Structure 1
């Protein structure tokens, strides 16, 4: 039986689905029992715990053959302080539960301790969870293609793609479907010690390529429009992003611009199979049918 954190989020949900599709027994860890109805319907067990509660988390991890662990995306407060809290709780809970195997979600670029904004929190998270289980993989994902869904409404209404990434700059991107499949596959492998596995899509893509994919799906031109650095903080504030979180996100885009969002030599490199077009089609479908289960 495998335990999955963050099952109602982008990556965790795909991991849980991929494991269920493989015929594995799954326990999802959620903040409330009510959040688990769809998972119960899929045959998963539901445990209620918050990541910062080490005692509850240890109970949720008991009896597992392995677990998918993550540092939740920051929505409020100090992302660096929250990383310390979550990392300390998990590093204490997993050994108490005798967790034999863990796949920890991280990011390409997490080899850098600074200069990458919010990605630097994952450098620290990796350090806190080093040795969290006798067999541990840090799964460093590329930029989620599904993140572009946050500006999909603007794309659909104005035929422009606002971007904090220079339109021609190719970076490792990947669909969360591939993240889920890769994490499930690694969890079912046998290994000992620590591994770093970097995951990207079939090829690296640019914001310009994303705009072209939207254009293909929508059947009309879509133009990538870079947001000037001096305008970005105000834009995030207008969208209600708290200041500390916004600063961490802006630091990430500065790191991307400086070329720090790149593979690390010596790590395992894997590529998924989901095309950019397929991922963007799903982004658009979700926007058109926000309440539908499109998996």
Structure 2
């Protein structure tokens, strides 16, 4: 039995889908019963568990041969305190249930304790879960292509793609389609001890590359619109992001710009197969379907 936390999110959902497509037995862990109905329809088992509750996580992990674990994106409060609480609960549950294999969602740049903003919470998670399972993979993907869905309406409606990334700085990016496929593959493999797997797309991309992909799919010009650092806090405040979370998020973009959020030496590197055009086309399709 493969257990997936965060199945209603981007990476967790793709992981659960990939496992089901492989014909594996899957249990998804969700916060509320109604969130599991669609997964039941696909043949998955459903457990209701809050990821910061060690007892609930332990119950969800009973009988698991492998699990996909993650730290939910913070929406309020102190992101670092949340990571400490979640990491502690997950580690306790993993040890309690003697979980054979764990795939822990992390990020490129998580090798650093500081200087990476919100990614430093994943450094905390890696530390908390190191050695908890018999075998653990820390899966470090690059910047999710699907993150651009948060500003995609501007590209669709107005031909501009707002970005906190320098338009021509190429960085590791990857579609969550590939994250899910890779996580599922790792969960089905046999290995021992700790591993770090860094994952990118078929090639590194820039914000300008993403804008060009939007332009190609839409059939009209789309240009990146760089938001300078001094304007970013106001932008995040306008969308209602709490200051503590915004500060950590902005730190990540500073880390990307400085080159600190980058691949680590001595780790296993993989590349996915999902093209930028394919991932962007899916983003646009969802937007158009919702209007």
Contact 1:2 1:64 in 2 (8 A): yes
CA distance in 2, matches of 1:164, 1:101: 36
Contact 1:62 1:98 in 2 (8 A): no
Alignment map for 1:115-264 (pairs within 5 Å): 115-264=115-264
Query: Tell me, what secondary structure is at the counterpart of 1:156?
Result: helix
Query: Tell me, what secondary structure is at the counterpart of 1:55?
Result: helix
Segments of structure 1 that go 5 or more residues without pairing to the other structure are: none
Aligned to 1:60: 60
Contact 2:109 2:119 in 1 (8 A): yes
Query: Tell me, what secondary structure is at the counterpart of 2:155?
Result: helix
* Deviations 1:67-110, CA, capped at 9 Å, x for gaps: 00001111111100000000000010111111110000000000
Query: Tell me, what secondary structure is at the counterpart of 2:28?
Result: strand
Aligned to 1:51: 51
* Deviations 1:232-280, CA, capped at 9 Å, x for gaps: 0000000111110100100000000000121111100000000000000
Contact 1:66 1:99 in 2 (8 A): yes
CA distance in 2, matches of 1:132, 1:41: 33
CA distance in 1, matches of 2:98, 2:290: 39
Q: CA RMSD in A?
A: 0.8
Q: Given the two structures, how large is their TM-score scaled by the length of structure 1? A: 0.98
Contact 1:167 1:226 in 2 (8 A): yes
CA distance in 2, matches of 1:249, 1:290: 27
Query: Tell me, what secondary structure is at the counterpart of 1:196?
Result: strand
Query: Tell me, what secondary structure is at the counterpart of 1:171?
Result: coil
Segments of structure 2 that go 5 or more residues without pairing to the other structure are: none
Aligned to 1:11: 11
CA distance in 2, matches of 1:9, 1:168: 29
Contact 2:27 2:45 in 1 (8 A): yes
* Deviations 1:12-36, CA, capped at 9 Å, x for gaps: 0000000000000000000111111
CA distance in 2, matches of 1:274, 1:261: 22
Aligned to 1:2: 2
CA distance in 2, matches of 1:289, 1:205: 27
The alignment status of 1:271 with 2:233, answered yes or no, reads: no
Aligned to 1:114: 114
Q: Given the two structures, how large is their TM-score scaled by the length of structure 2? A: 0.99
CA distance in 1, matches of 2:151, 2:78: 24
* Deviations 1:120-169, CA, capped at 9 Å, x for gaps: 11011100110120110000011000000000111111100110000000
Contact 2:118 2:249 in 1 (8 A): yes
CA distance in 2, matches of 1:278, 1:132: 37
Aligned length: 291
TM superposition outliers: structure 1 runs of 4+ over 3 Å: none
Query: Tell me, what secondary structure is at the counterpart of 2:73?
Result: coil
Query: Tell me, what secondary structure is at the counterpart of 2:202?
Result: coil
CA distance in 1, matches of 2:59, 2:163: 42
